[in-house]
Chains A and B, each alone.
Chain A
Amino acid sequence: MRNNRRWFRISLTMLVLPLIFALAGANGDGDHKETKYRWDIIKATSFTPVTVFEGGFASALANDGSRITVTGNGTFDLRESDDVTGGGTWTTYAPNGTTVTGNGTYRVQQLVRFDVAPGVQTAGLIDNIPGVKGDLTDNRAGLLFVRIAYSDGSKGVLVVSCHLNGGPDFVARPAAPASIFEGITASKGYTDYWSRVPPIVTPVPVDGNRTLFHILSQDEKKD
């Protein structure tokens, strides 16, 4: 009988332990930032005012002028490199610019690195990215590296860089540093499409080669 009670207590402890650890884990992460971001290759449907949606495209060139064009979006968490979602489509072109040499989809496998940058979004922009605030306070500039897997079995690294233009009052709403590029670069196997295609701004802005980051959650905890 005494033996039975002892085993009952041990079993109960074993059952409760995971719950205790789960609760401790949920509350006891110490002092840190829990930040989830969304990245987008955006589509601008208007420039007066600038109106952006998800579903745009961006391109980069390799050394011989061959090109990769990608679409896509996704999310990542700064605390956990495997906590990623997203992907998009890819098309590669020969140096002549028109012959398609491959296409398919890609998915994000892992966050390599993200650095948020200074800079504020231009006032008046209409932000139609799904699941964000829409008031521009969650827009961020920055530089993102993610590992990606292409649908043809090849692998690479996608670089997404976002330069926020600030203004029109540049004291209240400063732009990101001029050293930050707007657009993407990507590697696919041993080919690095390192030369981003810049967005066309003048004389008339044209859709394409634009990116955007949003903070989805930011929670500073102190135990």
Chain B
Amino acid sequence: MRNNRRWFRISLTLLALPLIFALAGANGDGGSKIRWDIQHYPGFVLQPGGEAFADAVDHSRIRFAGSGTFQADGADGNDVTGGGTWETFSVSGALTGSGNYRVVHLVSWHVAPGTLPCPPITDAIAPCADARAGLAVLQIQYSDGSLGKLVVSCHLPVGSPDSVYEGITVSRGFVDYLIAEDPDLTMNGTIFHVVRGDEH
């Protein structure tokens, strides 16, 4: 009889374990996807379709627009989607190139503290509670065949450390557009959202 009880307890534990792990997973972002956006927020309505600029050391510039997704736990760096458009400008401001780019690989993703205050902001991309601050490094391929990396950094208004900047930096070939221009000055910015399983 005592033996039967012991086996019953062991069986119950084994049955409950998957449920415990599933619940634990649901509370974090680990098994989810992250969506990134270069957004804009006219009238404090945060929406896709923004623009961001970064400068090289000689003050030539690159303009980026775009969005995409990647795995939150980074387990498969190739499980990425997205891309957007790019334009490059000379020191004098003349357009020197343009085209599309696509994300080919996630190099790294680190979530940062911070929340989006809704209101006054209305989040038209995803539920406001799913907004995240953080730093994503993505490998990209340009439409002219060149390769580079896109760094998306998001500083949320409430609780993000001052060390976290808002904006992007980009490399294209051997040129690193490493100086992020503050996108908030033109009501543009970056944002990450957790994409829940049923939203995939």
A194→B180 contact, CB < 8 A = yes
Given contacts A143-B176, A180-B176, 12 further A-B contacts (CB under 8 A): A64-B161, A113-B171, A143-B175, A157-B107, A157-B108, A159-B178, A179-B58, A190-B111, A192-B153, A192-B164, A194-B151, A194-B165
Chain A, range 181-200, C-beta contacts under 8 Å to B: 181, 185, 187, 189-192, 194-196, 198
Q: Which residues of A contact B147 (CB under 8 A)?
A: 113, 115
Q: Which residues of A contact B (CB under 8 A)?
A: 62-64, 66, 95, 112-113, 115-117, 141-143, 145, 147, 155-157, 159, 161, 177-181, 185, 187, 189-192, 194-196, 198
Bound CA span A166–B171, Å: 23
Q: With A143-B175, A181-B57 known to touch, is A190 a contact of B135 (CB < 8 Å)?
A: yes
A191→B58 contact, CB < 8 A = no
Shortest CB distance B58–A (Å): 4
Shortest CB distance A144–B (Å): 10
Task: Give per-residue flags for B153-183: 1 if the beta carbon is below 8 A from chain A beta carbons, else 0.
Answer: 1010000011111000101011110111000
B175→A196 contact, CB < 8 A = no
Bound CA span A63–B182, Å: 11
Q: With A63-B162, A156-B108, A190-B111 known to touch, is A116 a contact of B134 (CB < 8 Å)?
A: no
Q: Tally B residues with Cβ within 8 Å of A.
A: 34
B57→A178 contact, CB < 8 A = yes
Say yes or no: is B196 at the interface (Cβ < 8 Å to chain A). no
Contact among B110, B173, B178 with A189 in the assembled complex (CB-CB below 8 Å): B110
Q: Which residues of B contact A179 (CB under 8 A)?
A: 56-58, 60, 175
Contact among A147, A178, A195 with B58 in the assembled complex (CB-CB below 8 Å): A178
B163→A194 contact, CB < 8 A = no
A159→B108 contact, CB < 8 A = no
Q: Which residues of A contact B45 (CB under 8 A)?
A: none
Q: Which residues of A contact B110 (CB under 8 A)?
A: 155, 187, 189-190
B139→A194 contact, CB < 8 A = no
Say yes or no: is B40 at the interface (Cβ < 8 Å to chain A). no
Bound CA span A141–B176, Å: 13
Q: Which residues of B contact A181 (CB under 8 A)?
A: 56-57, 176, 178
